[in-house]
Structure 1
């Protein structure tokens, strides 16, 4: 699949389009799994407080493929966390997204409550973003995601985007910070959802940018966003051809060399190898 990062303990290889589904809507589970590369069964923001218990029951009684499913639980220390984790423990699901992750202690709480869990840490508050380095270093963390709207809310703000749809500077900085922390720790990074369902062009641009800078997936909230994300992460055939040619040209070279009008050294070769890996090809060059 596209978007594979192997960590010291586990591989995160779910594909580029990961679709949130409210856990209290089991009628949507199978359809979501058919459309997306992977599914996030959401027990947190997508479920009304009065329906949390209904969501937990639905998650247990309507199982999906545990290898392609993430369960988002409510924040550690909150009123629903223990019940969420207890429900997950009765299922085959062992990849859990911890909402509003802000500390290593919270990750420890989840790891103790659910031995063997693979955690997707969701850094979506100011505290979570600034502590991203310590969060991604936790032994149970296999991936990290960031979120724009909760981040701005935690800052007391009112809008994550400018009038033209671009992220405001502090939001873009948070996105970069979480990605850099993930890269330094060798864990996968998942890009945030795009809330404007009518603006498919901007979603395509953001997903293409996410793929280009090293995110392994983009989360989404509607099935119509899935093919747009998948296409954005799929390497262009011409780019794949050019990467093959570059690595072939490098096979008998030592050090930097000129190719197709530009100087090439090891970082550009790594770019080419990464692109071929996303295309499902493996190069030993």
Structure 2
């Protein structure tokens, strides 16, 4: 987490909660797994999915709870209440809340749980700053397709595959809200699994812009996301060099022909953080 404890890694892989046969593989391939009780599970299969979560938590060895996010159903629905009752029987304590819109309602969630607020409606985007400031929120994620649907639109992307301006504005607002509150910002999934080039470009932009991680929907996307967030060798060498040089300096100084001040040093620290040190 930016300024906090969100350090799961850059590639967060969704896995349908009604497919327990995929849990371990998803966890092995990604930095963290998002077990999805919401959109990935048909209504008739949600009770089975909850049972699978409990069974997985009881298995030895089980999934590492610190690397598990559970996307629950929306607040105010019977499914949300059933999801939370289920999770209370496990050690999973990080939830992703879809269609988050009301900070007051988010704050009423059981205090044992931390929340990644998924801003994917017009109301959710407009409330991003207040959601990020809620004491139990550790991250924000945004969703493109649900957002455009909430506006009455039909697609978040142009024919060339690039996001429409409204989606880009929402993405930026969520990133800024997360950064202002010091919580993690998670970029939306790239739904075109075959478009590795587009995924790479979006993940590289996410890393350079300050996102903490990118969500993905297929194991084949993990390596691309990890590579995009990993600093290049020359960038890493520069970051280490400038931070070492800064130890003997006070205020602004020159390094390799460039004037270095505190914002530049913060960039260098971010590079080291993304490299793992």
State the TM-score bracket (shorter-chain normalisation).
over 0.9
After superposition, what is the alpha-carbon deviation per residue over 1:179-219, rounded to whole angstroms, capped at 9, x for unaligned?
10111101111111000000001111111111111111100
Are the aligned partners of 2:72 and 2:96 in contact in 1 as well (CA < 8 Å)? yes
User: Counterparts in 2 of 1:128-147, with a 5 A limit?
Assistant: 128-147=124-143
2:256 aligned residue: 260
Q: Which moved more, 1:25-34 or 1:257-266?
A: 257-266
Give me the TM-score of the superposition, normalised by structure 2. 0.94
1:92 and 2:91 equivalent? yes
SS at match of 1:110: coil
Alpha-carbon distance between aligned partners in 1 of 2:243 and 2:7, rounded to the nearest angstrom: 25
* Match of residue 105 from structure 1: 104
CA separation in 2, counterparts of 1:257 and 1:92? 49
Q: Secondary structure at the match of 1:45?
A: coil
Question: Residue 58 of structure 1: which of 52, 57, 76 is its match?
Answer: 52
Does the CA-based 8 Å contact 1:19-1:40 persist in structure 2?
yes
Correspondence list, 1:235-254, <5 A:
235-254=231-250
In structure 1, runs of 5+ residues without a counterpart are: none
> 8 Å contact 1:5–1:12 — kept in the other structure?
yes
Q: Which segments of structure 1 move beyond 6 Å, counting only runs of 4 or more?
A: none
Q: Tell me the secondary structure at the aligned position of residue 197 of structure 1.
A: coil
The alpha carbon displacement at 1:105 in A equals 2.6
Q: Is there any run of 5+ residues in structure 2 with no aligned partner, and where?
A: 58-62
Q: Give me the whole-angstrom Cα distance separating, in 2, the residues matched to 1:51 and 1:109.
A: 27
Structure 1 Cα separation of the partners of residues 260 and 249 of structure 2: 11
Count of residue pairs the alignment pairs up: 272
Deviation at 1:6, TM superposition (A): 4.4
**Corresponding residue number in structure 1 for 2:145:** 149
CA contact (8 A) 1:76 1:110 kept: no
Q: 1:17 aligns with which of 8, 11, 28?
A: 11
Aligned partner of residue 109 in structure 2, secondary structure: helix
Whether 2:213 is the aligned partner of 1:214: answer no
Provide the secondary structure at the position in 1 that maps to 2:8.
coil
Contact in 2 for aligned 1:76/1:109 (Cα 8 Å): no
Task: Answer whether contact 2:2 2:179 (CA < 8 A) is retained.
Answer: no
Query: What is the SS of the residue equivalent to 2:117?
Result: strand
- How far off its partner does 1:253 sit? 3.2
TM-score, normalising length from structure 1?
Answer: 0.92
